[in-house]
Amino acid sequence: MPWIPLIGNHDTWPYSKEWEHPSADGDAYFGEIFGPMLRASKYISDYPNVAAWDPYHGFNQTPQNIEITINLGNTDAVIFGGDFNTRMHALLGEKGNLGQAELNKFPGGAVDWLRRRLQADRPRNVSIAFLAQH
């Protein structure tokens, strides 16, 4: 069965019980590990995996935005998996990031990517769905 990994909030800031990475750069690791498979997949129609400056948090993100296209005979199904995971550190001495979504509304972020992909030329008989990987 084909499968496509999507980044979630526990993936963006690497940590374990004993250790925590100093920054929320798990998205870059995700791209290193899964990027080759995603680029080779016949189902992935867009996977930029490019670092972008996040002015709200003051560091680069590598948003893991993924567009999946599946041909269903006389129509295509397009599924958007935007990286709306926060990069804000957890509160009260906890490790990792907060368990919440964020729009990541900056050039190269999830909202910017999704706008561009929704404006792409597509056949009239396409079905569109959105996945939230939080």
Q: Which of 66, 68, 69 is nearest to 49 (CA)?
A: 66
Q: Give the domain ranges of the chain.
A: 26-132
Please state, in angstroms and rounded to a whole number, the distance separating the CA atoms of residues 8 and 24. Answer: 12
Task: Give 15-25 pLDDT, tens digit per residue.
Answer: 999 999 999 99
Per-residue confidence at 134, pLDDT binned at 50, 70, 90?
low
Asked if 45 and 78 count as a contact pair (C-beta separation under 8 A), the reply is yes
Task: Give 53-73 pLDDT, tens digit per residue.
Answer: 999 999 999 999 999 999 888
Residue 118 burial (10 A CB sphere; 0-12, 13-18, 19+) = exposed
Whether the model clears a pTM of 0.85, i.e. scores above it, the answer is yes
